[in-house]
Structure 1
């Protein structure tokens, strides 16, 4: 079902006056809204057809049945800047550079071998997460007898710590904030990453009307450049110094993914990647948003339904016990935890749409002609809330809907696109294993190690922000340790 008011509010992000002006040039074409619940439509922005899809069956036609046709990306101001001129895999249009980077990421950076190699670094950050929350719960006690924890800050910076650790082999970009928490450098870094994500493919008139480029009517260009400058001031010196260490022979062994990228060779034994390709680190952006948002929403929903918290902690106590912490090897057995996260991805996606796909030639999908150059947007919200698919109270958080039987393993992927977590097809996220591990470990450790409740002074309102799909107010909850004290002691 397409809710037009919600669709338009998601598509239009310029200032109000510009929104109104541009609406006069918006035309509904190709697919008439002949009933109250269409599952595919077409809007024309300038000369570009923009096609939102809310039906999993039609989405699968685009991304599975005709994936070869829709495997490209649109050219936009934000994606051009963020990808350093389309040097990356996720944002670049279909072509040789995309093929090169996709192969490199899948084979050399996010392979199962590299995932095992980086296990210790991920576990260091999982332990740091527990240390940080434990310090918050015991050192900052309030009138509830526990500690107040900002779950959004905790989740976002855990994700930032993990990806910095596996890429740069360092948690902090400065001195840190004490007790495993972020310092001002880490706060600026993560905030800038989210700023880039917010403007990535955000509606900009100049992307659809090329004659307007350079006028900066909506200010997006300046916002993206400022955020990118903040990110690069931390990344570039590290990468440049590391390249020099390898060139001078000071460094000869790989310790992290930057080392891996620098040491890759082509068939002629020359460096496979140029410095600018290494600096275009889209992996850094791709790791901080989905896991942190899913965990924050899941925990908020579960606190409001204490019986869900009880079921989750019962599973953790049965699988893990109370005398050690959750390990990555426990993940396959934590089906209820994964069901809660699937439900968070379904009901509370991080963004209204997936990254756009572009038709590389004319095609017919679901009996509609899709013109070459069309931008296809899968609506994350409407796919996950489609009442024709999720018939049992689709707007309610119900993890049990993802538990088919006691014998089936639960995965965060959804290949049939009934909701979007890691999407599918040629443009599917290559970091499924890493993303799953980060997300499940974060929620499992938080639930296993601590009790969670709402503050009577600040009850949890499950309301989306007016500017994005995050909780309108960051989740702040009361925590108490629930395991023996010695379990929280780390070297």
Structure 2
């Protein structure tokens, strides 16, 4: 940690002369009447960078207890406003939805010009509306999802077969990798009509490393974001690493697209790529090849890593609390039946399973600080001024652990959601795993189904013992911070048929 702090100071010193020149220039600053949100006093030049630590979501949660749910920090040259309450989240995502609909662009997102094409990062303009509408109509509408239920059942059977093989052979299952493989193959089959990975294979782990690597790198604190001049040298290598991961994905896409265009096979299975290429062939100005590849990247990364991370945390909590797992399993057997496949229509009849998922979202949100918003213009919130251009972060993790909102907030207690109508679809600001407002996650309908289905597949017929005879109270619950909140020590357990 001391080495990291020294590196921060060293790199920030490299920008010192440039920064001081900016500071010494006449600067009118905010208007006199501006009442900026409170926050910790920034150090010269580097501001509050050192207060972020290795787990910014936790550090910011602690700071918010001192400075309040609307807090301002200075991260180098960048003003950041952190929201840590459902009330202010509602104001930002609902009342001022349009003002805060843009994104700030981390340097990592600029790799291969992803920030110019990605539906997650481009401004909420005509291009964004076009791509988002395309996603809804071609992949995430209720009609499309219902039509693809057979595909999801096939991938869940593959997962069931793999878990059963491990059970028979006495082999432990890496829960995160198994969930990732299932989700990756579902999405790759939906996009390209092919499976990208096999259970227990090196290819699955390699692709998981790429996808998880992208989420980890993008969310990692980057000095170049705080001091734009440092983008020229990329001191932490984040831009270079992101470019490398993006290129690996684009190489795969390019080959699939090349083969598809060369064969021109009208008998190709109907998939997302076919529909995208048809739009491109009719009018390239409507959807370019670059837009197609960046959209495919968005769908793969966002769809696989967040789902597998959520399932792994949910399974971790259930393994730690066997009585909760038994309760969820008994509900599945009573509603679905013994030795029967869960159907997507069953999810609405499984209140305890839904409560388990919600409680996992609350304790372990996949995106703990959400995807950053940007103030397109000055806005007044609760008497404070959020300045134009400020980065706005929603500390979803802090809201989920707030004792003024949740009773026993650090305890895994799915039962709390049996007594409330709180949902995850962006209307209840106490629980925002998919964000809210117009920038809410476009893939929410599919992710919601998949998380419940994969979790049910893991627990319906099996109990789980930790690898090496580890006791549940000895489980390591530490987090690995990034754009997604991964479990630092993967959950590996042995399935036992019951």
TM, length-normalised to structure 2: 0.84
Q: Which one is further off, 97-106 or 329-338? A: 97-106
Q: Is the 8 A contact 1:356 1:377 kept in 2?
A: yes
Q: 1:284 to 1:456 in 2, by over 3 A?
A: closer
**Aligned partner of 1:103 among 108, 111, 133:** 133
Matches of 2:157 and 2:304 in 1, distance apart? 18
Matches of 1:60 and 1:341 in 2, distance apart? 23
**Aligned partner of 2:243 among 213, 225, 244:** 225
Q: Give structure 2 stretches of 5+ with no counterpart.
A: 13-42, 50-62
Counterpart of 1:211 in structure 2 is: 229
Post-superposition offset of 1:380: 2.1
Q: Is the 8 A contact 2:48 2:76 kept in 1?
A: no
Matches of 2:468 and 2:280 in 1, distance apart? 59
Matches of 2:362 and 2:466 in 1, distance apart? 23
Counterpart of 2:101 in structure 1 is: 71
Q: Is the 8 A contact 2:173 2:492 kept in 1?
A: yes
Post-superposition offset of 1:240: 2.6
TM, length-normalised to structure 1: 0.85
1:385-464 matched pairs, under 5 angstroms: 385-390=401-406, 392-404=407-419, 411-455=423-467, 457-460=469-472, 461-464=475-478
Post-superposition offset of 1:470: 2.7
Q: Which one is further off, 87-96 or 435-444? A: 87-96
Counterpart of 1:116 in structure 2 is: 146
Counterpart of 2:257 in structure 1 is: 239
Counterpart of 1:191 in structure 2 is: 209
Matches of 1:72 and 1:182 in 2, distance apart? 40
Post-superposition offset of 1:106: 1.9
Q: 1:442 to 1:43 in 2, by over 3 A?
A: same
1:360 aligns with 2:370: no
Q: CA RMSD in A?
A: 2.6
Post-superposition offset of 1:253: 5.8
* Higher fraction of helix: 2
1:300 aligns with 2:316: yes
1:264-283 matched pairs, under 5 angstroms: 264=279, 272-280=286-294, 281=296, 282-283=298-299
1:166 aligns with 2:190: yes
Q: Give structure 1 stretches of 5+ with no counterpart.
A: 1-8, 142-146, 483-491
Matches of 1:318 and 1:169 in 2, distance apart? 35
* CA-to-aligned-CA distance 1:379-408 (integer Å, 9 cap, x gap): 121011011111x10000000011127xx7
1:153 aligns with 2:173: no
Q: 1:153 to 1:301 in 2, by over 3 A?
A: same
The alignment partner of 2:412 has SS state of coil
1:330-349 matched pairs, under 5 angstroms: 330-349=346-365
Q: 1:189 to 1:148 in 2, by over 3 A?
A: closer
Matches of 1:131 and 1:299 in 2, distance apart? 18
Matches of 1:34 and 1:63 in 2, distance apart? 19
1:127 aligns with 2:157: yes
The alignment partner of 2:408 has SS state of coil
The alignment partner of 2:438 has SS state of coil
Counterpart of 1:263 in structure 2 is: 278
Post-superposition offset of 1:125: 0.5
Q: Is the 8 A contact 2:103 2:374 kept in 1?
A: yes
Post-superposition offset of 1:378: 0.6
Counterpart of 2:24 in structure 1 is: none
Post-superposition offset of 1:457: 2.5
Post-superposition offset of 1:462: 4.3
Counterpart of 2:7 in structure 1 is: 18
The alignment partner of 1:36 has SS state of helix
Q: Is the 8 A contact 2:220 2:481 kept in 1?
A: no
* CA-to-aligned-CA distance 1:428-487 (integer Å, 9 cap, x gap): 0111110011100000111112122335622341421355643332111221223xxxxx
Size of the aligned set, in residue pairs, is 448
Aligned structure 1 segments of 4 or more residues deviating by more than 6 angstroms? none
Post-superposition offset of 1:367: 1.6
